[in-house]
Structure formats: structure tokens, C-alpha cells
Amino acid sequence: MKFGLFSVNSSVCSFPEVAARTARLAEEAGFESLWAGEHVVLPDPQVPPSPMAPHDRILDPIVSLTFLAAHTRQIRLGTGIIILPQRNPLVLAKQLASLGELSGGRFIFGIGAGYLEPEFRALGIPFEDRGARTDDYLAAMRAIWSQPKPTYNGRFVSFEGVQAYPQCTIPVVVGGHTPAAYRRAIRSANGWYGFALDHTRTAQCLSEIGEELKRSNRPQELGDLEISVTPPWRESLTLERAKQYADLGVHRLIMMPPPYFDESSLIDYVTRIGDMVIGHI
């Protein structure tokens, strides 16, 4: 099993010196990856299902991960997730190709369709077609990243007669706990990412994914579907619990520290997981 660390662009890690020290410590402790989430704006006042309060600090994930790439050597860097339909796909493709180049190919592109309607409304993006936009944008990005003569004609984005170098190959992980997210992961991605799932809910989601795999044709070139899960931050990680997730078929646990941690508590958290779990599994 691999281990990731979530929230490297928010809470106490929204301060650059803390983020850099934490990233280096995670790398030394044996973590495989660092993960940054995204909300461009937050509802004020906070309304369900927003997980964050209006004044909670969160930095742009691409900028944050590029910064952390310069402060680490080999740990991977993932978005968990970028809300793809809120982005211009060609601008985002250029940004991520640049991050991939500057990090030495360490980037993992985690995407989601989004779920906060007030955020979409503020950005002028129709909430109702977010799933279709996600599929369209991902296909367009892969075209500009890989085709000798990039051409794409979709519902929301079309282009031809352009180039954007450097091209790249970036692994894609799809987040979400819905049938549409499962289908997107199976048909179009290297992996699936379940966020804030306890052991019971993880088992349920993996059963649903297994049923969807029977109905969907997974492209052979994508290989086996890699499973990443972030347990709830209130759930303490022990070696036994990590093995239980592994027995379900989880390949990567992306740990989320409690949002109220200060730097000292975060350092203790990262060190403890490295010493008590990563070093023994």
C-alpha cells in the first residue's frame, strides 16, 4: 500500500514555510504523494454540503504543488481534486504540462465534476451540465497533450490548427461516489479516488465499482483501476486499520490531518504515521 498526505495547500499548510517543511518531512517519512484540494470560492455563509467555512484558507492547488515540487525530490504530487468543469481546458492543460515538466513527471491529475452550486454560479458555469463538461474537457486535454496534429470537436470545446508543447502523459484519477463518477473512472482514468470514506463506506463503493466494471468496457491501455481513499480525519490510522483497507483492494491511503492542527501537531501526525504504519506495511 502507498500513503499520501492531503491538505498540503490548506489550513496550516496554506503558509508556505509550513507547507515546505511538511512536504520534506512527508518525503522523509516514506509518504508516496502529496495531495491538494480545490475550491475557488466558498459560500458565505456556509451552507451544506460545503465542507469549509467562508474564511478557511485554501491556496490554488497547481500553484501550491509547483511550489512543493521545488522543495522535494521524489514524492509525487496530486490534485484531490481539481473541479474540471470550472476550468478552461486548454489553459489548464498548459498549466499541468508545465507542472509535470517542472516536477520531473511526478504529477497525478485528480479531477471531479464538483458539487457546490454556489461556487459554479459565482464562476458563471452552469451547474447542470458539469458532468458532460468534465468528460468533454478531459478528452480535449488529452488531445492537446498527445496528438501530433491536435484536433478536437466536442460539445463545449473545439479546436484545430494549434499546438501546445511540451506534450505529456499524466495519470488521471477520478473522484466521486456516484455511478457517473464510477463510469468516468472506469472508462477514462487510471484510478478512482474516494474522499472521506470510512472502511464500511469504502467497501460499499468498491462493490458498486465492481458491478459497474461488469457493465462498462475499460480500455485495455488503462490497465487495472488504481484505488485511492481518504479516510475521515476523525478516524485514527493504525497498522491494523491500514491492512483492513488494503484487504478491500485499496492501493493508496491519502491521509487527511484534522483541520485544527497547528504545525507542531501536524509534524507529530506525519512522523507517527511514518514510524508506526508506513515503515511496517
Q: Which domain does 239 fall in, by range?
A: 2-280
Beta strand pairing status for 82-83 and 152-153?
unpaired
Across the chain, what does the average pLDDT equal? Answer: 97
Structure confidence at residue 281 (pLDDT): 84
Determine the average pLDDT of the residues in 191-202.
98
The pTM for the full model equals 0.97
Residue 162 CB neighbour total at 10 angstroms? 11
Q: How many domains does the chain have?
A: 1
- Which of 204, 250, 255 is CA-nearest to residue 231? 255
**pLDDT tens track for 175-194:** 999 999 999 999 999 999 99
Determine the average pLDDT of the residues in 57-63.
98
Structure confidence at residue 279 (pLDDT): 87
End-to-end CA distance of the chain: 7
Q: Give the span between the Cα atoms of 39 and 54, in whole angstroms.
A: 11
The DSSP string of 145-161 is HH-SS--EE-SS-EE-S
**pLDDT tens track for 118-154:** 999 999 999 999 999 999 999 999 999 999 999 999 9
CATH for 99 = 3.20.20.30
Structure confidence at residue 156 as a pLDDT band (50, 70, 90): very high
Beta strand pairing status for 2-5 and 76-79?
unpaired
Torsion of CA 52, 201, 258, 74, to 10 degrees: -100
- Which of 218, 222, 141 is CA-nearest to residue 187? 218
Determine the average pLDDT of the residues in 74-99.
98
